[in-house]
Amino acid sequence: MNIQEEWELHKPKKKTWGRFLRVIFGRTTFVITALLIQFITLLYSFQWLSEHVFYLYGGFVGLSAVVVIYIINKNQNPSYQLSWIIPVLVFPVFGALFYLFVEAQPGTRMIDRRLKANIEETKPFLKQQHQVMERLYRESRGTARLAYYMNEYGGYPIWENTSAQYFPLGDDMYPVLLEELKKAERYIFMEYFIVEKGEMWNTILEILKEKAASGVEVRFMYDGMCSLTLVPYGYPKQLEQYGIRCKMFSPVRPVLSSAQNNRDHRKITVIDGHTAFTGGINLADEYINRKVRFGHWKDTAIMLKGDAVTGFLMMFLQMWNITEHQADDYVRYLCKPDYQYPAGLDRSGFAMPYGDSPLDNEPVGQHVYMDILNESRYYVHMMTPYLILDSDMITSLTFAAKRGIETIIIMPHIPDKIYAYLLARSYYAELLQAGVKIYEYTPGFVHAKVFTSDDTKAVVGSINMDYRSLHLHFECAVYLYRNPAVQQAEADFQATLKQCQEITQQDCKNYPIPKKIAGKVLRLFAPLM
């Protein structure tokens, strides 16, 4: 045997066994095995389902029937009920289970329970003064009946001794708000739907930081939707470093929850118990036209000084204390009895701040709008960014016009949401046919939420004419009767009307058919959007 033959005989053998083990226990084999197991499982599942599909489907159909009966008998808006019934019937499995999931949310129930407790705590400070109601009855029995309803079912009284200054634009409100914040001596409470870094918020924040450093109590609350795109999720902790107590309402979390549907859409500032701001204006630069998004931004606000500020004060504390474990000392936040209001304030007429909760099944925001429409004698003028109506609002609007009341709505010409505009356009023809006049603000986007009627009544606040504001969001506004600010709001409406184009029946006929169809389809699900 030569050297070569000996080497071939004794050289190391290939590790065939190791290779075999690597193949058996390798990643590829594992993946293939897992896929085979899944495939076999699916085959057996389909076989089992094919044998029992009749019973399963029958069970879900029965469940859907029970859910539909429950929805029909629940005390809810009929349009909202219909929007749930359709998906439950069309998709009996998914629709029924999803509805049950939404109804059983513990987060929503917790907010409802805590808010009701807070409302009970603030009742002693929101008692209706009998002498005010007596004077209101002498002025207008219709308005007095509305005030009675709002006190009994909304928990908010009507006040006297309150001045109101109306702002036709955010540009007008902004410098006044800054000056009032600088005057704060005891506290500043702010609650807003949107806050975004920019000129407006940065300037306000600097004032809040200075006030907090000087011993003024500063609380700031904003809706949790802002954390998605506008401010960091941990923004409250950042503000707390400046001495500002801050919290998000209903932070958005990566879980499916119906609580995420009820947003805090309110805009409130309360200073020392004697001054309050509300309206449609959030804390972002487009609201003061420092940033152009949808043309010129038309928005409104109002400043109150006087007794009615207590309504907004308690409104804020009710929401703030939802997540608190100890009640506030409410008395300390009332306006001091010795506070001297600036000379020359016209505090005539009546003012009624009010809030609206989606959890109490009492749509006070919608009822106020409907009362104005139903009680009007000469005109009702409205500005709203959205027009998504239920049957009750349609009836009130059309009936007012059919009674010969001048009923005019100003809408945006440049929309911020295309689906909302398509929905709004789907109502135009019906309203126009009844005599309602519709105008669109050609310079840009109307974000104002304003009602005026008969030179005596006005509403300024955060409440849009859509399902979200009227039924799903936390909202606020102030109702004014024979207050000088009513004339200011009506004058602004007339000035805005001159910058609008009227929508005619011919415009509705010429509207593209695909958009008409899209709007009609969207109406089926409008309450859920």
Does residue 23 or residue 442 have the better pLDDT?
A: 442
For residue 114, give every residue at least 6 positions away whose Cβ sits within 8 Å of its Cβ, in sequence order, or none: 321, 322, 323
The CA distance from 350 to 135, in Å, is 10
The single-letter DSSP state of residue 470 is: I
Give the tens place of pLDDT for each residue, 55-77: 666 666 677 777 777 777 777 66
Instruction: State residue 261's pLDDT score.
Output: 73
107-385+447-498: CATH architecture: 2-Layer Sandwich (3.30)
Give the tens place of pLDDT for each residue, 130-142: 999 999 999 999 9
Token pair of 79, please?
């349009």
pLDDT at 259 exceeding the cut of 90:
no
pLDDT at 7 exceeding the cut of 50:
no
DSSP H helices in 435-474: 467
Task: Kindly report each contact of residues 172-180 with a partner whose C-beta sits within 8 Å and lies 24 or more positions away, as own/partner.
Answer: 173/277, 173/279, 173/281, 173/288, 173/301, 173/303, 174/200, 174/288, 176/303, 177/204, 177/269, 177/277, 177/303, 178/203, 178/204, 178/207, 180/269, 180/271, 180/275, 180/277, 180/303
Give the H/E segment covering residue 347: none
Q: Is 383 helix (H, G, I), strand (E, B) or coil?
A: strand
Instruction: State residue 112's pLDDT score.
Output: 85
- Range with the largest mean pLDDT of 63-77, 105-119, 252-266, 356-370: 356-370
**What does residue 132 show for φ and ψ, rounded to 5 degrees?**
-65, -45
Average pLDDT over residues 239-258: 79
State the pTM of this model: 0.84
The CA distance from 491 to 511, in Å, is 32
Report yes or no: 237 and 202 within 8 Å, Cβ to Cβ. Answer: no
Average pLDDT over residues 92-115: 74
Q: What is the mean pLDDT of the chain?
A: 88
Least confident of 54-63, 292-301, 476-485: 54-63
**What does residue 138 show for φ and ψ, rounded to 5 degrees?**
-70, -30
Q: Sketch the domain layout of the chain as residue ranges.
A: 22-104, 107-385+447-498
Give the tens place of pLDDT for each residue, 420-437: 999 999 999 999 999 999
Give the tens place of pLDDT for each residue, 316-366: 999 999 999 888 999 999 999 999 999 989 999 999 999 999 988 899 999
Report yes or no: 356 and 332 within 8 Å, Cβ to Cβ. Answer: no
Beta bridge partners of residue 440, listed in sequence order: 411, 501
Instruction: State residue 169's pLDDT score.
Output: 98
What burial class does residue 369 get, using C-beta atoms within 10 Å of its C-beta: 0-12 exposed, 13-18 middle, 19+ buried? Answer: buried
One DSSP character per residue, 39-67 reads HHHHHHHHHHHHHHHHHHHHHHHHHHHHH
What burial class does residue 518 get, using C-beta atoms within 10 Å of its C-beta: 0-12 exposed, 13-18 middle, 19+ buried? Answer: middle
